[in-house]
Amino acid sequence: MIRVPDEYHAWVKAHNEEGETMFETLRRLTREPEPEELVGILSSAEVDKAREAAERFGGRDEERLRRAREAFRE
């Protein structure tokens, strides 16, 4: 069990689909979309740009993580 503000609970409840538990609703709302749900939404050029951005972002995070680890070793 977790405590959430009434407003958040109401928002999740409003997105609850028939026969779905609150857990199932939360899981559905917080997961990434399945790849097949994205077919046709982005052009090839947009996919390439997104892929490049993800690679740049990932590299930056790895560098930040490495620097943080080094800072804690000292």
Q: Could you tell me the residue ranges of all domains in the chain? A: 1-31, 41-74
Span 3-57, pLDDT tens digits: 889 999 999 999 999 999 998 898 888 887 766 677 788 788 887 887 777 777 6
Q: Identify the pLDDT of residue 16.
A: 94
Residue type (1 letter), 12? V
Question: Which residues neighbour 15 within 8 Å (Cβ) at sequence distance 6 or greater?
Answer: 25, 29
Report pTM.
0.42
Q: Is the distance from CB of 21 to CB of 29 less than 8 angstroms?
A: no
pLDDT in the model for residue 58:
64
Cα 53–chain centre separation: 16
pLDDT grade for 60, boundaries at 50, 70 and 90: low
